[in-house]
C-alpha cells in the first residue's frame, strides 16, 4: 500500500469560498477515484501548513490511475493557484528499493503530459517532496 500525502499552506487573501471549493475537490478525489482505498483530509495543526490530505493507493498502477483521473486533475487546477507552499510525500508499508524513483517517474509523466498543470505547479512559492521537480528529474 502507498499512502500519498499532500500538505498545503494557502496564499494570503484566499477567500473562504475558494477554500471550500478546494476542499470539496479533495473530498471528491477520495470518493470518486476508484484507485483510492481510503483517505483523510483536514486542517493541519501546530505546523506551517494549513491543510493536509492522505490517500491510500494499492500499488503503482493505482497511483497512476489516481494521478491522471479527471477529478484529481480538476483538484490540481482549482487548488494550485491558491497555494503558497506545497509538499507531497509518500509512505509505503511494502519495502521496495526503487519505489521512490518509480513514484517520481509517475509524477514526472503526469506533469509532462499536461504542460498547463506543470505551469500552475511552477507558480508555487515553495514546492517540495515527491512531485517536486528535484524528484522528477
Strand 2-10 relative to strand 51-57, pairing: antiparallel
pTM, rounded to two decimals? 0.92
Distance CA 38, CA 36 (A): 6
For the beta sheet containing 83-92, the strands, ordered from the edge strand earlier in sequence to the opposite edge, are: 36-43, 51-57, 2-10, 83-92, 126-129
Give mean pLDDT, residues 54-72. 98
Give mean pLDDT, residues 86-99. 92
* Reported confidence tier of residue 133, pLDDT bands at 50, 70, 90: confident
Give mean pLDDT, residues 16-25. 96
pLDDT at 94: 84
Angle at 50 between CA 18 and CA 133, to 5 degrees: 90
Whole-angstrom CA distances from 56 to 19, 20, 41, 65, 88 are: 23, 23, 12, 12, 14
Amino acid at each position: 500500500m502507498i499512502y500519498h500525502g499532500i500538505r498545503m499552506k494557502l496564499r494570503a487573501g484566499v477567500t473562504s469560498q475558494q477554500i471550500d471549493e478546494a476542499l470539496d475537490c479533495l473530498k471528491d478525489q477520495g470518493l470518486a477515484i476508484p484507485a483510492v482505498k481510503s483517505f483523510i483530509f483536514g486542517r493541519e495543526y501546530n505546523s506551517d501548513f494549513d491543510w493536509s490530505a492522505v490517500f491510500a493507493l494499492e500499488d503503482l498502477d493505482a497511483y497512476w490511475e489516481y494521478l491522471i483521473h479527471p477529478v484529481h486533475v480538476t483538484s490540481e487546477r482549482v487548488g494550485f493557484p491558491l497555494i503558497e507552499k506545497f509538499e507531497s510525500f509518500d509512505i509505503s508499508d511494502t519495502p521496495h528499493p526503487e519505489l521512490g524513483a518509480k513514484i517520481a517517474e509517475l509524477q514526472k509523466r503526469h506533469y509532462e503530459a499536461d504542460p498547463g498543470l506543470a505551469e500552475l505547479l511552477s507558480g508555487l512559492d515553495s514546492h517540495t517532496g515527491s512531485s517536486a521537480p528535484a524528484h522528477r528529474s
